[in-house]
């Protein structure tokens, strides 16, 4: 796993281009502390920082083709590179044993179509020195990041926004009002966009081409997530799920360094750990985080799963955190407002793992593929709820809202679940058609930031109509294309790479993704229980006590933080930082939260992160 940069600045001397690329490498050192390289010619250069996982002694980057026409900077892993290499052997004389040269050879000999044959995660920049053309791309699901900006005839690309700022300090880093609106709507930027007006993101499953002679960027989709079309019986599908998941785990154990795993004690991470530990000579090292607040602590479940699976388990307790730690993660590594508070414990568990291994497996993607989120349960309930007479619905809503909302985790309180369900009801119209969960109900948003209500970027889903034929499938499809890459994968990539740790996700194997989305939605649920296909296919891999535990998620007690010092910090930011937020409305919001009437913790956190970003200059910090 690595950090990559590209800079085309024909107006600068090669020495100035080199200086910017060297600075970018310094800002990406955490992504690749094992080595770095820079190559520059005629105002155009590539840079690379390396975390050595495969072919540790070889495969230096940027890597040039024989003769030097092509030059590649690559971040990621290609798990089936041996097979792809064999298919190219008659057209390329390989000098190394790693996957970098396989990608280089494939792009040179076949072109971007080679990506269809590859299984893995990646972001890359390939420069053709003869035709003076750049080809850059990202993997199907968007596991590896790549940002870019074009200005004054120049182009810069980098793995993280702070590195891009080193390459292009004079690009347009002003605030994008539409992305600010998206952030307050969803808690993150939408695919392709950032919080900065002149800065873009290569979208997952897309290829970008650019040439200084032709000018302008062309971006096209090279992969599409399709739905439906299962050509097997349900029994055959269960066999396929089991075999595909087993193969996906095995593929992600390929490394020249030790591989560990995150283990929460939930179904997805426990399955991955169980499969990964089957054929190992030494126990798999697993890692989890404990919380002092028992309502958020899963460490007991993780310990139980570890004992059952037989792993070497490591636990660290998440305690008090420093604001400087948050600023470093959000402003430095993410580089823009990002509202998922589980970034903090994810960074801690990554730090624990990173001290012992270079690679960790995770269970990310299981909920999107196999219908595991609580919001999918809520969507099922909505069908019944909206069948009630309007007067009955109003009565239910008034009754729920009349009761103080518990500050407990939703997995431990039926009343908390009732309040959360009423939130879903209140947001339902605004979330149709569904893009992602809205952070604020519409009436709250109208009070808190009315000027943002009419702004935002659009998302165009391929095969949207087929997904919307079923409202549950619509949620799963959108979550896989928006929430997963823009929230979950951003969080895990930035938090893990901050500790120089590569994270691999077996559930995001393209074969498994394609398989899961080919099933009819009815195959995924049984009453109010999701993951029907996963449970049936993998039942023998885990004991019933793991399958039967309530879903919890990686939450943190932000409700308590805002009733203490963090609430005071938010008040100060509201009073001192100019923003489109209505300070008086947010003060009332905070007062209601402190009084225990409503749990606004996540919504207050959303505002706190944005105002913190504004206070520190509304620009990536390092």
- Report whether 134 contacts 6 (CB < 8 A): yes
CA-wise closest residue to 153 among 204, 214, 209: 214
Give the structural domain span for 514. Answer: 234-371+468-547
DSSP 129-160: TTTTEEEEEE-SS--S--EEEEETTEEEEESS
Handedness of CA 550, 409, 305, 340 (dihedral sign): positive
Per-residue pLDDT averaged across 328-346, rounded? Answer: 93
**Rounded CA gap, 486 and 478, in Å?**
11
Is residue 214, in this structure, part of any structural domain at all?
A: yes
Residue 554 — pLDDT band, cuts 50, 70, 90? low
pLDDT in tens, 215-264: 789 999 999 999 988 888 999 999 999 999 999 999 999 999 999 999 98
More confident residue, 529 or 67: 67
**Rounded CA gap, 295 and 556, in Å?**
9
- Does residue 338 share a domain with residue 215? no
For the cut 70, the answer to whether the pLDDT of residue 468 exceeds it is no
Q: Chain-wide mean pLDDT for the chain? A: 90
Is residue 247, in this structure, part of any structural domain at all?
A: yes
Q: What per-residue confidence (pLDDT) applies to 392?
A: 73
Tokens at 321, concatenated: 């955190």
Split into its structural domains, the chain has a count of: 3
More confident residue, 531 or 380: 531
Is residue 428, in this structure, part of any structural domain at all?
A: no
- Report whether 436 contacts 485 (CB < 8 A): no
Tokens at 538, concatenated: 């993998």
Phi, psi of 8 (to 5 degrees): -115, 105
Decide which of 189, 221, 253 is a domain's last residue.
Answer: 221
- Does residue 94 share a domain with residue 38? yes
Residue 10 — pLDDT band, cuts 50, 70, 90? confident
- Report whether 273 contacts 311 (CB < 8 A): yes
- Does residue 569 share a domain with residue 531? no
* H/E run at residue 291: strand 285-291
**Rounded CA gap, 537 and 281, in Å?**
26
- Does residue 318 share a domain with residue 254? yes
pLDDT in tens, 596-621: 888 899 999 999 999 999 998 888 98
Q: 411-431: buried (b, 16+ CB within 10 Å) or exposed (e) per residue?
A: bebeebbbbbbbbbbbbbeeb
**Rounded CA gap, 443 and 427, in Å?**
9
More confident residue, 287 or 391: 287
- Does residue 560 share a domain with residue 513? no
Residue 467 — pLDDT band, cuts 50, 70, 90? low
For the cut 90, the answer to whether the pLDDT of residue 418 exceeds it is no
pLDDT in tens, 80-117: 999 999 999 999 999 999 999 999 999 999 999 999 99
Q: What is the layout of strands, in order, in the sheet containing 154-158?
A: 35-41, 44-50, 2-8, 154-158, 147-151, 200-201
pLDDT in tens, 139-175: 999 999 999 999 988 999 999 999 999 999 999 999 9
- Does residue 540 share a domain with residue 560? no
Decide which of 547, 581, 609 is a domain's last residue.
Answer: 547
Per-residue pLDDT averaged across 9-26, rounded? Answer: 95
**Rounded CA gap, 202 and 186, in Å?**
20
Percent of the chain at pLDDT > 70 equals 93
**Rounded CA gap, 486 and 39, in Å?**
31
CATH number reported for the structural domain that contains residue 276 in this entry: 3.40.50.620
Is residue 262, in this structure, part of any structural domain at all?
A: yes
For the cut 70, the answer to whether the pLDDT of residue 313 exceeds it is yes
Is residue 437, in this structure, part of any structural domain at all?
A: no
pLDDT in tens, 180-195: 999 999 999 999 999 9
- Does residue 274 share a domain with residue 126? no
The strand pairing partners of 219, in sequence order, are 208
**Rounded CA gap, 376 and 330, in Å?**
29
Is residue 415, in this structure, part of any structural domain at all?
A: no
Q: What per-residue confidence (pLDDT) applies to 212?
A: 87
Q: How far is CA 333 from CA 47, 145, 361, 496, in A?
A: 18, 12, 21, 10
DSSP 466-502: HHTTSHHHHHHHHIIIIIIIIIIHHHHHHHHHTTT-E
Decide which of 495, 515, 547 is a domain's last residue.
Answer: 547
Is residue 147, in this structure, part of any structural domain at all?
A: yes
- Does residue 338 share a domain with residue 196? no
Percent of the chain at pLDDT > 90 equals 68
**Rounded CA gap, 497 and 332, in Å?**
12
More confident residue, 408 or 595: 595
Per-residue pLDDT averaged across 272-280, rounded? Answer: 91
Q: What per-residue confidence (pLDDT) applies to 285?
A: 96
- Does residue 591 share a domain with residue 521? no
Q: 86-104: buried (b, 16+ CB within 10 Å) or exposed (e) per residue?
A: eebeeebeeebbbbbbbbb
- Report whether 546 contacts 308 (CB < 8 A): yes
Is residue 439, in this structure, part of any structural domain at all?
A: no
Tokens at 467, concatenated: 């997904």
**Rounded CA gap, 209 and 364, in Å?**
30
- Does residue 191 share a domain with residue 50? yes
């Amino acid at each position: 796993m690595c950090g990559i940069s590209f800079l085309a600045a024909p107006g600068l001397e090669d020495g100035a281009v080199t200086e910017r690329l060297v600075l970018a490498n310094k800002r990406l050192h955490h992504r690749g502390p094992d080595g770095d390289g820079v190559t520059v010619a005629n105002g155009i250069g590539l840079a690379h920082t390396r975390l050595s996982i495969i072919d540790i002694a070889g495969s230096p980057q940027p890597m040039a083709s024989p003769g030097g026409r092509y030059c590649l900077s690559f971040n990621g892993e290609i798990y089936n590179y041996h097979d792809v290499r064999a298919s190219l052997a008659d057209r390329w004389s390989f000098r190394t044993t790693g996957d970098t040269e396989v990608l280089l050879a494939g792009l040179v000999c076949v072109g971007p179509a080679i990506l269809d044959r590859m299984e893995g995660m990646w972001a890359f920049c390939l420069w053709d020195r003869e035709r003076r053309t750049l080809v850059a791309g990202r993997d199907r699901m968007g596991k590896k990041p790549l940002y870019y900006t074009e200005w004054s005839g120049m182009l810069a690309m980098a793995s993280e926004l702070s590195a891009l700022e080193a390459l292009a300090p004079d690009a347009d880093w002003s605030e994008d009002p539409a992305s600010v609106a998206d952030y307050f709507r969803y808690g993150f930027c939408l695919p392709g966009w950032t919080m900065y007006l002149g800065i873009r993101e290569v979208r997952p499953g897309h290829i970008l081409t650019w040439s200084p002679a032709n000018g302008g960027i062309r971006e096209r989709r090279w992969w599409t997530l399709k739905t439906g079309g299962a050509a097997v019986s349900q029994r055959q599908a269960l066999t396929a799920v089991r075999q595909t998941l087993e193969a996906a785990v095995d593929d992600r154990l390929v490394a020249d360094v030790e591989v560990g795993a995150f283990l929460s004690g939930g179904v997805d991470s426990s399955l991955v750990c169980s499969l990964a530990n089957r054929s190992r000579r030494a126990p798999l090292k697993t890692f989890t985080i404990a919380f002092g607040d028992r309502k958020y602590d899963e460490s007991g479940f993780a310990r139980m799963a570890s004992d059952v699976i037989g792993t070497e388990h490591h636990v660290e307790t998440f305690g008090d955190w420093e604001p400087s730690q948050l600023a470093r993660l959000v402003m430095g590594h993410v580089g823009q407002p990002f509202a998922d508070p589980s970034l903090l414990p994810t960074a801690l568990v990554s730090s624990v793992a990173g001290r012992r291994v270079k690679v960790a497996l995770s269970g990310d993607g299981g909920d999107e593929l196999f219908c595991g989120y609580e919001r999918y349960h809520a969507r099922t309930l909505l069908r019944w709820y909206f069948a009630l007479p309007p007067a009955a619905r109003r009565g239910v809503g008034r009754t729920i809202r009349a009761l103080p909302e518990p500050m407990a985790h939703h997995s431990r309180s039926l009343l908390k679940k009732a309040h959360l369900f009423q939130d879903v009801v209140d947001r339902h119209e605004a979330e149709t058609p569904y893009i992602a969960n809205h952070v604020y109900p519409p009436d709250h948003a109208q009070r808190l930031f009315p000027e943002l209500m009419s702004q935002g970027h659009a998302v165009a889903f391929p095969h949207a109509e087929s997904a919307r034929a079923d409202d549950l499938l619509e949620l799963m499809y959108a979550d896989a294309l928006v929430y997963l890459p823009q929230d979950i994968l951003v969080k895990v990539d930035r938090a893990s790479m901050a500790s120089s740790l590569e994270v691999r996700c077996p559930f995001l194997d393209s074969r498994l993704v394609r398989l899961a989305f080919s099933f009819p939605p009815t195959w995924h649920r049984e009453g109010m229980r999701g993951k029907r296909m996963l449970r049936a296919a993998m039942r023998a891999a885990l004991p019933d006590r793991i399958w039967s535990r309530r879903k919890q998620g990686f939450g943190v007690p932000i409700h308590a933080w805002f009733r203490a010092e963090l609430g005071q910090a938010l008040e100060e930011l509201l009073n001192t930082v100019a923003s489109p937020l209505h300070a008086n409305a947010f003060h009332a919001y905070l007062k209601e939260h402190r009084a225990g009437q409503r749990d606004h913790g996540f919504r207050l956190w959303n505002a706190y992160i944005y105002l913190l970003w504004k206070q520190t200059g509304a620009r990536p910090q390092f």
